[in-house]
């Protein structure tokens, strides 16, 4: 019998399995071993031989060095706001918690080489109980945040850029679950927003980003017990939807441009405001620009004409996060080699590429084009303590 691999960490195996969205049985099938073996390796009651570690490494698409790291990238202390507890399965939520922990580690590593924008989120005393905020107050908070961030009246040109300029780490990646569109969390004093890259129109993704801003600002004081309560989550989701509508379509400027309470009228506004017709109908209703009967007829016509796809949905490009990508480029320009990067960040190369937003194959390409360090309106500089 082969001796067990010295230094193997069962916690890392569980972390990897959950990050890939696998059960112990499914991983065992992929690695050509029994579920009992996988369970023993995870719990540390048995140490796998080198050949088994190699099979696990291949099955999980992670370097063997990943399983030799101390501890694990724990997500237990991250209070993550998922869109729905019932819609997103526990497996999907756990997968994203693990991957978010990887993002925080990647961001922490890149801060050694690039000065990322500092968080500039207001700290407001807001009751964590959703029932304590009515729709008018939610509108006021949305207006206050626009003022705090110096946002001009009218449409917001780029919500992701706005988040990054104010210190949020934004990631757009494939979430791999139809029930997940976006999620957010505070980790070590830094706001993180993860947006789906594998579905939905760009205008809806902008709304998702604004929705997560609401959670980061309005629901920062919510507890883990709160976020595990379906009724609480339902209430804050409704609140975040209202905030997103108010943040993207402020009452004064949106009302001033509202001319026709018809579907064609909303379609005409869509290219400028870059929000869905559905979101505009809801916003117009909340501002009493249309009455209940008008809204009802609009929704009937909406479903008859379009279903799930609206006009212009394919005409907008999704907003692209750039801060982590730029920080990675600075690190490489500072002399960090892809090999050294993988030693410090023991993930698959594809994971690092996806989570930092560079193109597939970037870290293995000999002709990498490492660009400048200006990201939209965000200035990144080599870290002073590099």
Q: What is the CATH number of the domain that holds 37?
A: 1.10.260.40
358 located within any domain: yes
In a domain, 295, yes or no: yes
Looking at the structure, tell me whether residues 60 and 179 fall in a common domain: no
Q: What is the pLDDT of residue 291?
A: 97
Note the pLDDT of residue 1. Answer: 43
Count of domains forming the chain: 2
The torsion angle over the Cα atoms of residues 152, 154, 158 and 164, rounded to 10 degrees, is 40
The number of angstroms, rounded, from the C-alpha of 375 to the middle of its chain's C-alpha atoms is 19
Q: Residue 113: inside a domain, yes or no?
A: yes
The per-residue pLDDT for 132 is 64
Domain membership of residue 2 (yes or no) is: no
The torsion angles phi and psi of 56, rounded to 5 degrees, stand at -65, -40
Q: Are residues 158 and 269 in the same domain?
A: yes
Do 190 and 119 touch, CB atoms closer than 8 A?
A: yes
Strand partners, 382: 114
Does residue 1 sit within a domain? no
pLDDT (tens digit per residue) in 117-159: 999 999 887 665 656 667 788 899 999 999 999 999 999 999 9
In a domain, 5, yes or no: no
Q: Which residues contact 106 (CB under 8 A, 6 or more apart)?
A: 324, 345, 352, 355, 356
Give the model's pLDDT for residue 386: 45
Claim to verify: residue 256 and residue 308 sit in the same structural domain: yes
Of 11, 8, 7, 16, the closest CA to residue 61 belongs to: 16
**Per-residue pLDDT at 6:** 81
Strand partners, 190: 187
Extract the tokens encoding 329. Answer: 């480029």
* Residue 307, number of CB atoms within 10 A of its CB: 8
What three-state secondary structure class fits 185?
strand
Helix (H) or strand (E) holding 67: none
Residues 291, 147 share a domain: yes
Distances in Å between the Cα of 57 and the Cα atoms of 69, 258, 338, 341 are 14, 57, 19, 18
Shared-domain flag, residues 62 and 82? no
As given in the structure block, the two tokens for residue 386 are 């590099």
Give the burial class of 180: count Cβ atoms within 10 A of its Cβ; 0-12 exposed, 13-18 middle, 19 or more buried. Answer: buried
What domain range is 342 assigned to? 75-386
Give the pLDDT of residue 121. Answer: 96
Residue 367: closest CA among 332, 342, 334? 332
pLDDT at residue 372 in the model: 46
CB 180 within 8 A of CB 83: yes
Which pLDDT belongs to residue 85? 46
Q: Which of 245, 252, 187, 250 is nearest to 213 (CA)?
A: 245
**Is the backbone of residue 44 left (phi > 0), alpha (psi -120 to 50) or beta?**
left
Domain boundary, last residue among 32, 52, 68:
68
Residue 48 lies in a domain: yes
Which of 68, 86, 106 is at the close of a domain?
68
Confirm if 173 and 325 have CB atoms less than 8 A apart: no
Rounded to an integer, what distance in angstroms lies between the CA atom of residue 187 and that of residue 156?
Answer: 26
- How many whole angstroms separate alpha carbon 77 and alpha carbon 149? 28
Residue 333: CB atoms within 10 A of its CB come to 16
Instruction: For residues 278 and 360, state if they share a domain.
Output: yes
Indicate the pairing of strand 190-196 with strand 169-173: parallel
DSSP single-letter state for residue 123: -
* Positions of the chain with pLDDT under 70: 1-4, 72-88, 126-133, 176, 199, 365-381, 383-386
Which residues are paired to 185 by β-bridges? 80, 192
Domain check: are 115 and 83 in the same one?
Answer: yes
Per DSSP (E only), the strands in the chain are: 79-82, 114-115, 169-173, 182-187, 190-196, 374-375, 378-379, 381-382
For residue 385, the model assigns a pLDDT of 47
């Amino acid at each position: 019998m082969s001796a067990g691999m010295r230094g193997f960490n069962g916690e890392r195996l569980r972390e990897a399995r959950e990050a890939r969205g696998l059960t112990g049985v499914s991983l065992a099938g992929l690695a050509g071993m029994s579920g009992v073996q996988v369970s023993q390796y995870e719990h540390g009651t048995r140490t796998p031989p080198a050949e088994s570690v190699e099979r696990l490494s291949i099955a999980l698409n992670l370097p063997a060095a990943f399983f030799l790291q101390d501890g694990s990238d724990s997500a237990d202390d991250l209070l993550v706001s998922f869109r729905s507890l019932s819609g997103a399965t526990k497996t999907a939520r756990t997968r994203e918690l693990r991957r978010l922990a990887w993002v925080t580690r990647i961001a922490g590593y890149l801060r050694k080489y690039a000065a990322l924008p500092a968080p500039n989120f207001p700290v407001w005393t807001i009751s964590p109980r959703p029932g304590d905020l009515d729709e008018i107050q939610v509108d006021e908070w949305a207006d206050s945040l626009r003022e705090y961030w110096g946002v001009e009246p009218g449409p917001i040109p780029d919500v992701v850029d706005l988040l990054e300029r104010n210190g949020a780490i934004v990631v757009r990646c494939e979430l791999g679950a139809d029930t997940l569109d976006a999620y957010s969390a505070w980790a070590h004093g830094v706001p993180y927003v993860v947006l789906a890259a594998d579905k939905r129109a760009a205008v809806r993704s902008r709304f998702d980003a604004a929705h997560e801003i609401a959670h980061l600002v309005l629901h920062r004081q919510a507890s883990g017990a709160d976020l595990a309560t379906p009724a609480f989550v339902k209430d804050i989701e409704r609140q975040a939807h209202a905030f997103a509508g108010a943040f993207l379509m402020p009452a004064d400027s949106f009302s001033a441009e509202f001319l026709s309470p018809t579907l064609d009228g909303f379609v005409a506004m869509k290219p400028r405001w870059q929000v869905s017709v559905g979101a505009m109908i809801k916003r117009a209703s909340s501002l009493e620009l249309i009455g209940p009967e008008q809204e009802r007829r609009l929704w009937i016509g909406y479903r008859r004409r379009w279903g799930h796809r609206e006009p212009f949905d394919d005409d907008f490009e999704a907003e692209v996060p750039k801060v982590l990508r730029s920080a990675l480029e600075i690190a490489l320009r500072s002399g960090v080699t892809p090999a050294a990067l993988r030693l410090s960040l023991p993930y698959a190369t594809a994971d690092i590429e996806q989570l930092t937003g560079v193109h597939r194959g970037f870290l293995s390409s000999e002709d990498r084009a490492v660009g400048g360090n200006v990201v939209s309106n965000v200035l990144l500089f080599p870290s002073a303590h590099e």
